[in-house]
Amino acid sequence: MAANPIAPKIVGIIGSANAGPTFGLQLLSHPILASRFKSIIFDKSAALPSSSSDKGHGSILPSAGAAVALFSNGLFPLYNLNLRAPLDVASSEMSCLTLHKLTWNQELQTGARAIERQTLQRLLVSEYLQRGGEVQWGKNAVSFSRQDSGQIRVLFSDGTDAVVDLLVGADGGFSTVRKFILNERNPSTAEARWLPDFMGMSGFYGISTPTQALAETRADPQTKESTHAIWLDNGNLSVAPLPDGKVRWDLMISEKTPPDSTGPVEPSSAETSDSSEPWETAIMPGMYPRSSSVEVLRKHAEIYHPVVETFGKLLESAERIIRSPLRQRVWTEEEIQYENVALIGDAARLMLPSSGQGTGFAVEDATVLANTLLNHTSAGGAVSNIRAALEEYAVLRVPRSKKMALVASIAGRVGIGEQWYLRALRDWVRELRVKQGKESWPFNERLKFELARN
């Protein structure tokens, strides 16, 4: 008599940004995990945009950034998911820096790649759906509770709920799932441990299409294709090309105190009517008043750029501008998992953009978590111990995250150059020449499914 089939465990993934669908894809890509887990992504957005020109996409949060970089440690797991072809089409290779070329990877035959954040999200979610995954849109998770069975009940703002066997928070730096874990661990300290630390910096992230400026430029092809880092007296500007004539740019400046708000602030009617230049309306609602962001950007409009002449040319052609206070924190092993709940991506560790590894580490998280679940699933299909798998995941990820966050913090402060001695250090670093050779940490990480050998 045939044995009764084992019902798959339900995995609820909160958030459809890059960490969530990557984890879902990893579960679907392995036959054992695909048979033992059924994943459902819950996202508060109404729907995924059909194209990158859809500016009304609600999942682009103020802290999300406009474009991201993927280095070889993040590309490797995605390429193993058979996503190389669509990724390469949707992104631009960061083949050269103005100081030195250090992102080329011989094994993958590509350098780091720049891609619009929502383009990457759309690619991952679409592939996840095509492979049999499920996404429920318009589901804003507002609370979680543990059932007598040990399962987690998720309550949504529309009054509906869902019960899951494994809850994964991929809901960003201000994660509601993290708040649930912290309250389960110790309610008296949960609030203090939940908020990431303000790092004394503010970041602007933009996508521009400077068609006329690019057509009139006298820059040579290599200069046009390069990533340019421009150091200012109190900040820095980074610019890199994207496909279809687009350009991504990040402007980082020092800031004494963070804004009071932790959620989007809609522009006032006066700010909307007083917009003197079209690009001002491209500033998406964030934690800052629009007038404050306009003032800062105008002050930097005359910054020299080797391709389009000035930063102002990028502002004039901006399609989307996001501003966010820069925060960082690496939560501990106990803070990113508890029982059958775990965090991945920015929910587990939030790093300064100077790390260049926010998206890469999110991909790593998804891969490691899937792998630990695989190693706690028997060949017969039974999941032996979800809790042990999540604990193993946390032990593997936190030390690497702490090391990367330290590097990001140092790089961020040197890059801003608020003090004279940091500006002097930047000038010294600029004269260094990085030798080509064996890839260094953290780019040399190669994560894939492997059954542990006893």
pLDDT in tens, 204-259: 999 999 888 777 787 887 888 888 888 888 888 888 888 888 989 999 999 999 88
Q: What is the mean pLDDT of residues 394-403?
A: 94
| Rounded percentage of the chain residues whose pLDDT exceeds 70 | 78
**What confidence score (pLDDT) does residue 42 get?**
96
Question: Which structure tokens are listed for 424?
Answer: 């002097």
The Cα–Cα gap between 126 and 123 comes to 5
Looking at residue 299, what DSSP letter applies? H
**Range in 67-71, 86-90, 309-313 the model is least confident about:** 67-71
Are 8 and 38 in contact by the 8 Å Cβ rule? The answer is yes
What does pTM read for this prediction? 0.85
Say if strands 134-137 and 304-305 run parallel, antiparallel, or are unpaired: unpaired
pLDDT tens digits for range 91-119: 888 765 544 334 445 555 566 788 888 88
| Rounded percentage of the chain residues whose pLDDT exceeds 90 | 48
Residue of higher predicted confidence among 414 and 227: 227
Residue partners of 324: CB distance under 8 A and separation at least 6: 62, 63, 65, 202, 203, 205, 286, 287
**What confidence score (pLDDT) does residue 185 get?**
95
Residue of higher predicted confidence among 280 and 430: 280
Q: What is the mean pLDDT of residues 150-158?
A: 96
The Cα–Cα gap between 65 and 78 comes to 20
pLDDT tens digits for range 121-145: 999 999 999 999 999 999 999 999 9
Residue partners of 175: CB distance under 8 A and separation at least 6: 14, 169, 343, 346, 347
Are 264 and 62 in contact by the 8 Å Cβ rule? The answer is yes
Residue 381 pLDDT level (bands cut at 50, 70, 90): low
Taking 50 as the threshold, does the pLDDT of residue 57 lie above it? no
Query: What ranges make up the beta strands (E) of 85-227?
Result: 92-93, 113-116, 134-137, 141-146, 152-156, 161-164, 166-169, 197-208
C-alpha closest to that of 147 among 159, 165, 170, 160: 165
Burial 418-433, CB ≥16 within 10 A → b, else e = eeeeebeebeeeeeee
Query: What average pLDDT does the chain have?
Result: 83
Strand order in the sheet with 141-146: 141-146, 152-156, 161-164
**Range in 36-45, 175-184, 333-342, 422-431 the model is least confident about:** 422-431
Residue partners of 276: CB distance under 8 A and separation at least 6: none
Alpha helices in 131-244 (DSSP H): 176-185, 190-194, 211-216, 221-225
Residue 60 pLDDT level (bands cut at 50, 70, 90): very low
The Cα–Cα gap between 9 and 389 comes to 14
Q: What angle do CA 141, 144, 150 make, to 5 degrees?
A: 135
The Cα–Cα gap between 119 and 248 comes to 13
Secondary structure of residue 70 in the 3-state scheme: strand
**What confidence score (pLDDT) does residue 179 get?**
97
The Cα–Cα gap between 227 and 248 comes to 10
Quick one: 304 exposed, middle or buried, by C-beta within 10 A (0-12, 13-18, 19+)? exposed
Q: What is the mean pLDDT of residues 272-287?
A: 80
**Range in 274-283, 334-343, 401-410, 429-438 the model is least confident about:** 429-438
Taking 50 as the threshold, does the pLDDT of residue 193 lie above it? yes
**What confidence score (pLDDT) does residue 264 get?**
63
**Range in 23-32, 400-409, 421-430 the model is least confident about:** 421-430
Residue 62 pLDDT level (bands cut at 50, 70, 90): very low
Taking 90 as the threshold, does the pLDDT of residue 418 lie above it? no
Residue of higher predicted confidence among 336 and 199: 336
**Range in 233-242, 355-364, 371-380 the model is least confident about:** 371-380
For residue 337, list its beta bridge partners.
342
- Please say whether the structural domain 9-47+116-196+329-430 has been given the CATH code 3.50.50.60: yes
Residue 159's Cα: distance from chain center in Å? Answer: 29
**What confidence score (pLDDT) does residue 61 get?**
39
**What confidence score (pLDDT) does residue 267 get?**
63
Are 287 and 262 in contact by the 8 Å Cβ rule? The answer is yes
**What confidence score (pLDDT) does residue 176 get?**
96
**What confidence score (pLDDT) does residue 379 get?**
61
Residue 52 pLDDT level (bands cut at 50, 70, 90): very low
